[in-house]
Amino acid sequence: MNIGISRVGQIAINARDIDRATAFYRDKLGLPLLFTAGKLAFFDCGGVRLMLDVAEKPEFDHPSSILYFSVPDIAAAHRQMLASGVRFEDEPHVIAKMPDHDLWMTFFRDSEQNLLALMSEVLHAA
């Protein structure tokens, strides 16, 4: 059965301090803040909306799933984010060698301790 799902429209990210989390996603990651609504903040990430929200019930108060942000130059993004105070778990490294590119990743924490990642598909030299 095809119900017409074509893309991810929105992802909720838990935050304990919405102002702190909003500053992180806006100022450290450079994502455009779309709007705020009460205790919610919404960002655009390449057409996917990220919603920062405080967990309404204790069972929902846990770190989010890992979001992988695609960047064209993972080394440059890593350097820039380090300089702005982002705490990384590792250095950029190759995860998989594909026929025409290498998949690079590095993991970091947001202001709410959610684990996030940068990923970059680096084409092989011709």
What pLDDT tens digit does each residue of the chain (126 aa) get?
Answer: 676 678 888 999 999 999 999 999 999 999 999 999 989 999 999 999 999 999 888 888 888 888 999 999 999 999 999 999 999 999 999 999 989 999 999 999 999 999 999 999 999 987
- The pLDDT of residue 55 is 86
pTM for this structure?
A: 0.81
Angstrom distances, CA of residue 18 to CA of 8, 27, 64, 72, 121: 23, 14, 15, 29, 32
* Calpha distance 116→114 (Å, rounded): 6
Q: How many domains does the chain have?
A: 1
Q: Write phi, then psi, for 66 (nearest 5 degrees).
A: -80, 125
Q: Residue 5 domain-assigned?
A: no
Q: Residue 74 domain-assigned?
A: yes
Q: Residue 118 domain-assigned?
A: yes
H-state helical runs in the chain: 18-23, 74-83
Q: Residue 110 domain-assigned?
A: yes
Q: Residue 4 domain-assigned?
A: no
Q: Residue 3 domain-assigned?
A: no
Residues 6+ apart with CB under 8 A from 4: none
Q: Residue 53 domain-assigned?
A: yes
Where residue 105 sits, what CATH number does that domain have?
Answer: 3.10.180.10
- The pLDDT of residue 60 is 82
User: Could you tell me which of 98, 104, 105, 106 has the C-alpha nearest to residue 124?
Assistant: 98
Tokens 């989010």 correspond to 64
Q: Residue 55 domain-assigned?
A: yes
* Domain residue limits at 118: 10-123
